[in-house]
Amino acid sequence: MNQPLLVTASQKAGPRWTLAIGAVVLLVLLALPLLSLLPAGHSLQVSAYTLTLVGKILCYAIVALALDLVWGYAGLLSLGHGLFFAIGGYAMGMYLMREASGDGLPAFMTFLSWSELPWYWVGTQHFAWALCLVVLAPGLLALVFGFFAFRSRIKGVYFSIMTQALTFAGMLLFFRNETGFGGNNGFTHFRSILGFEITAQSTRAVLFLLTVALLVASLYLGWRLARSKFGRVLTALRDAENRLMFCGYDPRGFKLFVWVLSAVLCGLAGALYVPQVGIINPSEMSPTNSIEAAVWVALGGRGTLIGPLLGAGLVNGMKSWFTVAFPEYWLFCLGALFILVTLYLPRGVVGLLKKRGEQ
């Protein structure tokens, strides 16, 4: 009786269909890594390329979901989520670099003729600490930035611009060699993770399954949040912040919580992205990447949970096809997508489907 409208609406639109399609997609995703383990040449074998590509898109889907939590529900359009994603990736990359270099220094540091590790690399040879960093680094950064931003009631486009400037600053910082993260080239040439060879089919399969698990977990978390009173407060915040304040809610705490949560989700996605793709460099932090994430969410339909996943899949699928077939025209396509979605699909693909369902 007291569920948010979105949930009730999606139930009306045909919960059976949603569930059935969801289940099929999940089954396919679970089957992919198993099929990749088949011997080469088998007709059903899934190539490492395909597995990596889908794994990458799944990581992006988590970012889209995280972005949707702050944009779709709380109305804060972040143009800096790539920063949190990359920081999570770098935290995992630090561990992988240490694992690859053994007792010595990572190769790029010897190249800079550094004699010892900078202080922030301490402990990164331990997988557990690296995992902590994956959560803590983006989380703390989001906490500090969010605290100041929400305290001074920065919202709307101002907030978007500030987050964009933040990720831009981060990119410049990581481009420097002196920062100690490999400069331009970032981290690459990983060998193993927890002793398992990183390019082995089985390792890839496990990483893929972990990504699927994280995606499902984030989806569940998002669903629980959207259904809770917290989710309704967020929606209220988006539409009438003043009214909410005079109801006795402190908007800052709510914004900060969902903002940090979203950043941490991004960090985790980044941490799974790096071992699968095998490289992380500062261009992940470029404002272009972050704003592209916004179009995934917009295309899929913000304020819904399935929409961002759908959007991330569609756009990235198109991107990988275009960049092979017509590399020069991809930016035209992406640009047109930005314009068409905002003009004609304000509620995204999911909104369109719902409209069809209701008619």
Partner 1 sequence: MRAIPLPPVHPEFMLEPILDAGSGRDAIGLGQRRGEGLDVRHGTVLTLEDINVSFDGFKALNSLNLYIGVGELRCIIGPNGAGKTTLMDVITGKTRPTSGKAWFGDTLDLTRMSEVQIAQAGIGRKFQKPTVFEALSVFENLELAQKADKSVLASLVARLSGEQRDRIDEILQTIRLSGSAQRQAGLLSHGQKQFLEIGMLLMQDPQLLLLDEPVAGMTDAETEFTAELFKSLAGKHSLMVVEHDMGFVGSIADHVTVLHQGGVLAEGSLEQVQADDRVIEVYLGR
Partner 2 sequence: MPKALQRLFLGLLLLLPLAAQAADADYFIAAKANEQARLLQDWAAQPDPARLELLSSLQQGRIAPDDTRNLRLNNRLRGLVDNALASHQLLSADAEVRLAAAQQLQKSAQPAQVAFLDRRFASEADAAVHAALGLALANLQLVDSDPAVRLAAVRLLGETGDPMARTRLQALLEPGVESNAGVRTAAETSLAQVKRKLLFGELLGQAFSGLSLGSILLLAALGLAITFGLLGVINMAHGEMLMLGAYATYVVQILVQRYAPGAIEFYPLIALPVAFAVSAGVGMLLERTVIRHLYGRPLETLLATWGISLILIQAIRLLFGAQNVEVANPAWLSGGLQVLPNLVLPYSRLVIIAFALFVVLLTWLLLNRTRLGLNVRAVTQNRNMAACCGVPTGRVDMLAFGLGSGIAGLGGVALSQIGNVGPDLGQSYIIDSFLVVVLGGVGQLAGSLWAAFGLGIANKLLEPQIGAVLGKILILALIILFIQKRPQGLFALKGRVID
| Binding positions for partner 1, rule: CB under 8 A | 1-2, 4-5, 8, 225, 228-230, 232-233, 235-236, 238-240, 242-250, 253-254, 257
Q: Which does 42 bind (CB under 5 to 8 A by kind): partner 1, partner 2, none?
A: none
Q: What angle do CA 206, 212, 214 make, to 5 degrees?
A: 105
| Contact mark string toward partner 2, 171..190, x via CB under 8 A | -xx-xx--------------
111 is an interface residue for partner 2 by CB under 8 A: no
Q: Which does 248 bind (CB under 5 to 8 A by kind): partner 1, partner 2, none?
A: partner 1
Q: Which helix (H) or strand (E) holds 193?
A: strand 192-193
245 is an interface residue for partner 2 by CB under 8 A: no
Which amino acid makes up residue 142? A
For the CB of residue 282, give the shortest distance to partner 2 in the complex, in Å: 11
Stretch that binds partner 2, among 109-117, 222-230, 266-274, 327-335 (CB under 8 A): 327-335
Give the count of beta carbons closer than 10 Å to the beta carbon of residue 224: 11
How many amino acids of this chain bind partner 2 (CB under 8 A)?
43
Report which of 46, 316, 44 is spatially closest to residue 208, judged by C-alpha positions: 46
CB closer to partner 1 out of 7 and 37: 7
Determine whether 343 is exposed, middle or buried from the number of CB atoms within 10 Å of its CB (0-12, 13-18, 19+).
exposed
CB closer to partner 2 out of 227 and 238: 238
Residues with Cβ within 8 Å of 107's Cβ and at least 6 positions away in sequence, in order, are: 101, 189
323 is an interface residue for partner 2 by CB under 8 A: no
154 is an interface residue for partner 2 by CB under 8 A: yes
CB 73 within 8 A of CB 258: yes
78 is an interface residue for partner 2 by CB under 8 A: no
149 is an interface residue for partner 2 by CB under 8 A: yes
CB closer to partner 1 out of 178 and 250: 250
Q: Which does 166 bind (CB under 5 to 8 A by kind): partner 2, partner 1, none?
A: partner 2
Q: Which does 154 bind (CB under 5 to 8 A by kind): partner 1, partner 2, none?
A: partner 2
236 is an interface residue for partner 2 by CB under 8 A: no
Give the count of beta carbons closer than 10 Å to the beta carbon of residue 141: 19
37 is an interface residue for partner 2 by CB under 8 A: no
Contacts 24+ apart (CB under 8 A), 213-218: 214/62, 214/268, 214/269, 214/272, 215/58, 215/61, 215/62, 215/65, 215/309, 216/26, 218/62, 218/65, 218/66, 218/265
CB 80 within 8 A of CB 164: yes
| Contact mark string toward partner 2, 333..352, x via CB under 8 A | -xxxxxx-xxx--x------
Query: What is the signed CA dihedral for 34, 39, 45, 48, rounded to 10 degrees?
Result: 80
Give the count of beta carbons closer than 10 Å to the beta carbon of residue 251: 19
Q: Which does 336 bind (CB under 5 to 8 A by kind): partner 1, partner 2, none?
A: partner 2
For the CB of residue 193, give the shortest distance to partner 2 in the complex, in Å: 31
Q: Report d(CA 88, CA 23) in Å as an integer.
A: 29
Q: Report d(CA 209, CA 206) in Å as an integer.
A: 5
| Helical packing angle, 229-239 and 251-277, nearest 10° | 110
Q: Which does 111 bind (CB under 5 to 8 A by kind): partner 1, partner 2, none?
A: none
Q: What are the residues binding partner 2 (CB under 8 A)?
A: 77, 145, 148-149, 151-154, 156-158, 160-162, 164-166, 168-169, 172-173, 175-176, 242, 287, 291, 294-295, 298, 328-329, 331-332, 334-339, 341-343, 346
